[in-house]
Structures are given as structure tokens and as C-alpha cells.
Amino acid sequence: MLALAGVLNADPALFVNVPVVFDPGQNGPIGVAATKTDLIVTEYCTQNVDTIDCMGNVTVLTTIPTGPVGPCSEKYVAIAPAQSASATPAPFTPRDIFVTQGDEVYKVSQAGATLFATITGCIGAGTPHTGITFDHVGTFGYNMILTCETGGVWKADGNGTGTLIGNTGNRSEVPAVVPLGFGLHGGEIWAAAENMDQVNSIDNMGNVTPVLSWVGAEAVHVIPSTLCALCTGGSFFQGGNK
């Protein structure tokens, strides 16, 4: 199943409100990533990276340094999957947590935040919307995938070395590498293009193809057939700021 900008084939239910500590009009959860044991969330106008337990208690895991664009930016989060241990040319450690901020990617844990990669030219004229996901399919070497405000689509290996794949020509937000069974553009990167009201597909040669028209598209998520078993026994978690 595919989810676009929070639109699901199901009735959503509120799990928890992330505390507003900066600006009630701007703050709230932005990036969300879940495993069988962890729910990780980033906040819009703070540098906090939070964990949320099954009772809805929010705890700050760590904070990342304030970047050149200031605290109010869309910081997205991804957790390295098991497949990333096979990433080429350099593997990742599965379960490592990564957070984007402008042209920076941080690896975070309870021990703190360390700069993992810098993606050249990822900051555009507006608020950064740097998206992140991992290739679970293998089309892009099981590497980290990053999308930029300036339209760039990158992959990064376990050493933090970035390689430009292609450019959509406009803001590209939260991407997903869709399954091979998704028709003609299966196994490719699908990335939301909010300013263009569409979803683009990018293949491993950098070719860009519009695949869906969707007003205000902000994110693409592939919902697996076996949902995350965290807390509820099978859920998809999504956040949104107020």
C-alpha cells in the first residue's frame, strides 16, 4: 500500500501529542520512524529528537546542533533497516537513527548527535525540506536516499559519501523506494513534489518521470504487508505539526 501526505486507506487515531515547547502555531512532530521497539520523532521548531513509549510518554533522546537555517525546519528521520548492512560500497549498521537538517545528516543516539554527511547544495531559498529514506529493494545498492529543497536526489553509503542520482527541478520531499511490483516504475524512488502538486519517480540513471498528480503532496510512504508491531501489534505511525 502507498500513503501520500498522510492519506491512508484506514481511519487514523491519535496516539500522542508531542508537547509544544516553542511556538504553539509552528511546533509539533515532523519526522516519524518506528521499529518493533522504538518510535522516534523530530520536532519542527526545536532541535529535539524524541522517543515515545507505548503509554505515550515523550522523552528527549538527544538534541542536534542548530544548523545555518535556524531551528524551524522540516527535520526528517529514518532508521537503517536490516538490508542496509548490505549497502555498497560501504554498509550501515542496522537500527542506527539518522536525522536530516538542511544539507546535513546526523546520526543520533542517547550518546548524542554526530554529523554523518553533508549534501552539497541541498538548501534552497525556502525552509529546508530534506527528505530521507533507505532503499529496501536493492535498486540503489541498499543505500540511504536523500531528497533536497533544490530538487536534488542523492544516495549516501555507510561512510556518509553522497552521490547525486538526479534532479527533479523543483522541491523534492520525503521519498520512498517503492517495491518492484509497483508497475513500470517499481523499484524506483518516488518523491513528493508539493510545489508541483505531483509525485515524481527517479530511476537509478537519474531519469525523472511524473507518476501521480496529487495536490500538496508532501511525503511518500510504502506501508508494508506486515505492519510495525510496536505497542499496538500492527500500526503505521505518522506525524503532523499544528
Q: What is the mean pLDDT of each run of 10 residues along the chain (242 residues)?
A: 47 49 57 83 90 85 86 89 95 96 93 93 76 96 94 96 93 91 92 88 95 85 69 55 48
- C-alpha torsion sign, points 110, 116, 118, 122: negative
The model carries a pTM of 0.85
- Closest alpha carbon to 211 in 237, 231, 187, 241: 187
pLDDT, tens only, 133-159:
999 999 999 999 999 988 999 999 999
Domain ranges for the chain: 2-10+31-222
Considering all CA atoms of the chain, what is the largest pairwise distance in Å, rounded to the nearest integer? Answer: 45
| Residue 4, number of CB atoms within 10 A of its CB | 19
Query: 2-10+31-222: what CATH class?
Result: mainly beta
DSSP string, 101-130: ETTEEEEEETTEEEEEEE-TT---SS----
What's the pLDDT score for residue 128? 79
Cβ neighbours of residue 87 under 8 Å, at least 6 residues apart?
141, 142, 143, 144, 157, 158
- Closest alpha carbon to 102 in 52, 47, 178: 47
